[in-house]
Structure 1
Amino acid sequence: MSAEVARALLHLLLDRLEQSPDRKRLPAASPPESFADAAAREAFGQILEDARRAGAVEVQRGKRELRHLIQRVTLADSASLRRFLGRMPSDRIAASLVDELQMQLPDLDPETVDALNALQAGWVLQRKPFGVPPELKAARAFLVALDAVLRRDPLDRHDLRTFSRKATGDSKLIERQRGPLVAWMKTKGRVPPELSGEELLAAVGLVKCAHPVLVAGPVQVRGADMSRLAYCGIAPEDVNGVDLAGAMASLLIIENFASFNRHVHEARGDAEIVVYSGGFPSRVVLQMIRRLVEVFGVQAWHWGDIDAGGVKIADHIARQAAPGLRLHLMTPDLARRFGTRAPPEPALAALSSASEVASLGKFLAEEGAAHLEQEEIDPAPVAVAIPGRSVSSDERVDGEG
């Protein structure tokens, strides 16, 4: 057992060397403070002495009466230690794995190739990029799943497992690779890093069963007039069949379901279409917003929480579907008056999608920031033509009537 402890310590020296990007400083390690008995200490010392004689390490012992005790072990020559342990260098292990993966997966999307290069760079440093260890089976599964996601047709409407089966031959492969895929998305900046795994996958259309888009207002779906309903659920495959069923003045996107319900029943105007984003919007929700904005040229507004999550949702919608997005009931003044003080989040100052979104991000990034959940505010009609404001002229807040 002590021999195994000694070998583990020697492996640790190589680990520390390979984990260092410059690999110039020779690592050292200290032995355990105690052993089961004298025989165990002797067995431990014998392995280290053999490694010293092989020119692999330097062994520092105590002075005088402590000369029999090993105090520190320092790497002397990495090649000698690898020979002593029978261990390949991490760069050779990584290169060998990459060669095999390239043989097995010769036609990868360029972004998947970039991911493979990132895996190799991480493995050389004894890391697990995107949570993927230097193992052929694990790396292959991740790359196959990522490649399928990157190549997916934007118009594909299959549920997650059906898509996975058709694209990879395994109905659960992409689901099993959710962790590494989410890590890759976050690393690439495709989606806000604070989202959950389910939200991240939904953002790229990877859900077990795609949800309908909840819409209220003057719309018709493949000729069926929905304008008399409080709201309706439009299936993903029918989004491109949505047309106007009457005059349309504005589009309001609402983050939370309670506020969506209240606005639809209490404040929606006859010429207003309201879309429920479902928190962070899925790809299908973005498709609906994009159609209403691009095809019909409608002005889009967004109502959500005044906090980091809310402003990032608005920013994502502005970037992906509604470049001129404006904010409704989302002002610093409302947050100060009815919200709670919050610490500044400087990263939010970098938002630069739509002017009002960027302005709210700057407010949340500086001292004096405040958060406000949208349920705290009564719904109000959208102010279509009030320059410089993101709240209607007949603003109503709980407690004010």
Structure 2
Amino acid sequence: MSRKGFFQTDALLSELIRRHEANPSATRLTARIELEAFPNIETQDAFFGELAELEREGGIKVVRRRVAGEWTATGVSLLQPEVLYRRLGRDPSRIAVAKALSRVRQRSDLLAGAHEVIDEVGAAWERGVSRYGIAPLDDVSLGQVLDLAAAAGARSLEVDVSEVDYRTFSRRTARDSKALERQLPAVVHIMMTLFPQLDDGLKLRPAERLASAGIVRLAQPLLLAGPIVLDGESLPALPFVGLPPEEGSRVGLSGPATYVLTVENYASFVRHVREISSSDGGLVLYTGGFPSRAALAAIVRIASLADVPIFHWGDMDAGGVRIFRHLELALATCGIRLRPHLMDPQLLRDLGSVAERQPGIRRGQCTDSAITTLWDLIALEHLVHEQEELSPTRPL
């Protein structure tokens, strides 16, 4: 019997229906009557009168127990849910869900695999629970998520697309500028279901996966320091310069660089530029955290032009090694080998601390990589270390 007590008929019946829909095979569903909660005798008499009528119709059975020597109604057991549906003026969940989903199913633009997603959502909704964060019967949100997932997946397969921010992408695709931010995990999960060929084994976070498709919360500038020119023209003497990532093709080299270093976090980028590379001829690029598609293309292009050893310096945590691996795979397509800088297993053992949360990566997910040993250490021992805690050093 449910511990929560009831003294209003509709609330009690709704609770029995909720529990029935959550577990249709259950045969002993009982709700407790809160005998002390009735405000007056009239309310109590009306309540028990309604229960007696429902019992005569075969919908429920009133449970009676001896209390202080007298037989007293203490609960209600469900017998025939159809009687309760009629009393509440409600459709069974399977009918309400079918009606809601029919508006989505009848669309002609659904991708292969979308109907399986809809079936999965419907099965959860019939039990009265959300799926992918989409509340039961919210067919509008489900339609938006399917639209966003399809459009994001299509962008991921395109070779050359310009970056777009979340709200612009969401407004153009779902006619709601905030839909993507509200349903971000659902959009990416369903995108990966509809486009299984996108699975590269990296287990990227939702925002990282969208960034790889050129969809970003707010586009980070491409920050560079070192021997560079723009459109073949020399630049003023500045510690570093910034430009939109999609303009990376306009960057060239003014002379040889001693190395290329990509840096995950802004503070560490600035420190390395000011303390190290201003005097050692290094070419340093800020990735903006997980690099967007445009930033990644610019990094690969500039690394190819430089033709010198390239390193990456980032956090020693799950996000940091995912970023390294993402860069490593992109550079490898051009025959460039990426090396870690200040991302060393022994350094992590010496300076790291145990993370409060599970890292979200597993041992063996990242093989044949310069970061494999560090990846496995983070996965097994849950050690983490932020790069800002380290002072910059030369990679060579």
Q: TM-score range by the shorter chain?
A: 0.7 to 0.9
Tell me the residue number matched to 2:390. 377
> Please, which runs of 5 or more residues in structure 1 have no aligned partner?
384-401
Structure 2 residue matching 1:30: 3-state secondary structure: strand
Q: TM-score, normalised by structure 1?
A: 0.76
The residue number in structure 2 matching 1:56 is: 59
What secondary structure is seen at the aligned counterpart in 2 of 1:127? coil
Give, in whole Å, the separation in 1 of the partners of 2:309 and 2:35.
70
Q: What is the Cα deviation at residue 260 of structure 1?
A: 0.5
Decide whether the 8 Å contact of 2:165 with 2:217 is kept in 1: yes
Which of 232, 237, 251 in structure 1 is aligned with 2:241? 232
> Any idea what the Cα deviations from partners look like across 1:3-24, whole Å, max 9, x if unmatched?
982222212222122223x634
Alignment of 1:67-78 (within 5 A): 69-78=72-81
- Change over 3 Å in CA distance of 1:145–1:43 after alignment to 2: farther
Aligned residue among 87, 93, 116 for 1:90 = 93
Q: How far apart, CA to CA, are the structure 2 residues paired with 1:318 and 1:67?
A: 78
Query: Aligned-pair distance for 1:108?
Result: 2.7
* 1:310 matches 2:320: yes
Q: Using the TM superposition, give the Cα deviation of residue 159 of structure 1 relative to its aligned residue in structure 2, in angstroms.
A: 4.4
Q: How many angstroms does 1:180 deviate by?
A: 1.3
Q: How does 1:50-199 map to 2 (within 5 A)?
A: 50-63=53-66, 65=68, 69-103=72-106, 105-110=107-112, 113-133=115-135, 134-152=137-155, 155-168=161-174, 170=175, 173-185=176-188
Compute the displacement of 1:155 (Å): 0.7
Using a 3 Å threshold, how does the CA distance of structure 1 residues 316 and 24 change in structure 2: closer, same or farther? Answer: farther
Q: Does 1:38 align with 2:38?
A: no
Query: Contact 1:219/1:227 (CA < 8 Å) preserved in 2?
Result: no
- CA offset at residue 263 of structure 1? 1.5
Among 309, 329, 341, the alignment partner of 1:328 is: 341
Alignment correspondent of 2:9? 6
Q: Deviations over 1:126-172 (max 9, x none)?
A: 1222332313444334444444434446513444444445445x3xx
Instruction: Using the TM superposition, give the Cα deviation of residue 227 of structure 1 relative to its aligned residue in structure 2, in angstroms.
Output: 9.9
**1:213 aligned partner:** 222
- Check conservation: 1:254, 1:303, Cα contact below 8 A: yes
Is 1:287 matched with 2:306? no
Q: Which deviates the most, 250-259 or 232-241?
A: 232-241
Match of 2:376? 362
Structure of greater relative contact order (alpha carbons < 8 Å, 6+ residues apart):
2
The residue identity in structure 1 corresponding to 2:12 is L
- For the residue of structure 2 that corresponds to 1:237, the secondary structure is helix
Moved more, 185-194 or 133-142: 185-194
Q: 1:335 to 1:41 in 2, by over 3 A?
A: same
Q: Provide the C-alpha distance between the structure 2 equivalents of 1:320 and 1:59, rounded to a whole number of angstroms.
A: 68
Q: CA distance change for structure 1 residues 331 and 92 in 2, over 3 Å: closer, same or farther?
A: same
In the alignment, the residues of structure 2 paired with residue 355 and residue 312 of structure 1 have an alpha-carbon distance, to the nearest angstrom, of 11
**For residue 348 of structure 2, what is the amino acid of its counterpart?**
A
Letter in 2 for 1:352: C
- Maintained 8 Å contact 1:344/1:365: no
**Alignment check: 8 A CA contact 1:319 1:353 kept:** no
How is 1:21-32 mapped onto 2 (pairs within 5 angstroms)? 23-32=25-34
Superposed CA RMSD in Å reads: 3.7
Q: What is the distance in 1 between the residues matched to 2:214 and 2:6?
A: 53
Match of 2:196 in 1: none
Local SS of the residue matching 1:62: strand
Question: Which stretches in structure 2 are left out of the alignment for 5+ residues?
Answer: 193-198
From 12, 22, 40, the equivalent of 1:19 is 22
Give a deviation string over 1:367-398, Cα, whole Å, max 9, x none. 4x643321222212224xxxxxxxxxxxxxxx
